[in-house]
């Protein structure tokens, strides 16, 4: 993953738009989406739809990034489900994971089914290169939930780094740094052990992640 993070200072999305330190809506000539409303809806959705391990995982992201978690929002919408009744996210999202109104056109969602380790890394690399670090985090999250506990620090560390890149692309440099450092701590702890890295140079990943969220000179 490090090669993709270091390949260019800016993410390039499908339309070739820059989205690393400033988000797409900050580009000249573009109309800003209802960012605050979307972010609030996203946090409310996570609070009401997530449970157990997943809830703690996302909640830690919000807290580390400086987001506010409030109770008593009054949100009563039930979680989206697939035809088999399993929870599935159907609300459209933009390339940086921000929820859009139902009926809007968003990016193609990634599968919530876990992939084998090598395929997980390939998918995450491609998504980061396309300017979709939030989707890359979802792919990595599915892997750590399904994988053995001894590999948790590897996959969760990579996922947290991708969340940090997401915050950087949204313009939240402070939150980006916090999340990347949390991910780095997990990767460094994992790298000190004997677990498989599936061809990753974790030291290079750490260096590249820090470079991507470092303040511009």
- All domains in the chain, ordered by first residue: 2-7+109-213 (1.10.3450)
* Structural contact between residues 45 and 75, judged by C-beta atoms closer than 8 angstroms: yes
Query: Are the beta carbons of 184 and 206 closer than 8 angstroms?
Result: yes
pLDDT in tens, 116-161: 999 999 999 999 999 999 999 999 999 999 999 999 999 999 999 9
How much is the mean pLDDT over the chain? 74
pLDDT tens string 81-124: 666 666 566 789 999 999 999 999 999 999 889 999 999 999 99
* Structure-block tokens of residue 108: 């193609």
* Confidence (pTM): 0.66
25: pLDDT confidence band, cut at 50, 70 and 90? very low
DSSP, collapsed to helix, strand or coil, labels residue 208 as helix
């Amino acid at each position: 993953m490090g090669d993709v993070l270091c390949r260019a200072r800016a993410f390039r999305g499908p339309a070739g738009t820059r989205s690393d330190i400033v988000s797409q809506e900050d580009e000249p000539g573009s109309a800003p989406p209802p960012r605050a409303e979307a972010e609030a809806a996203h946090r409310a959705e996570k609070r009401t739809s997530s449970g157990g391990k997943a809830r703690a995982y996302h909640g830690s992201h919000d807290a580390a990034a400086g987001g506010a978690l409030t109770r008593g929002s009054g949100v009563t919408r039930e979680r989206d489900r697939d035809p088999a009744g399993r929870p599935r996210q159907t609300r459209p999202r933009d390339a940086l994971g921000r929820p859009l109104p139902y009926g809007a056109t968003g990016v193609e969602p990634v599968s919530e089914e876990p992939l084998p380790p090598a395929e997980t890394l390939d998918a995450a690399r491609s998504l980061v290169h396309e300017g979709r670090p939030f989707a890359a985090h979802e792919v990595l999250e599915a892997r750590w939930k399904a994988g053995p506990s001894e590999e948790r620090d590897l996959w969760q560390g990579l996922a947290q780094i991708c969340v940090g890149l997401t915050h950087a692309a949204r313009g939240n440099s402070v939150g980006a740094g916090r999340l990347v450092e949390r991910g780095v701590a997990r990767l460094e702890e994992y790298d000190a052990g004997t677990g498989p890295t599936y061809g990753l140079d974790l030291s290079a990943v750490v260096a590249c992640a820090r470079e991507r969220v470092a303040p511009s000179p």
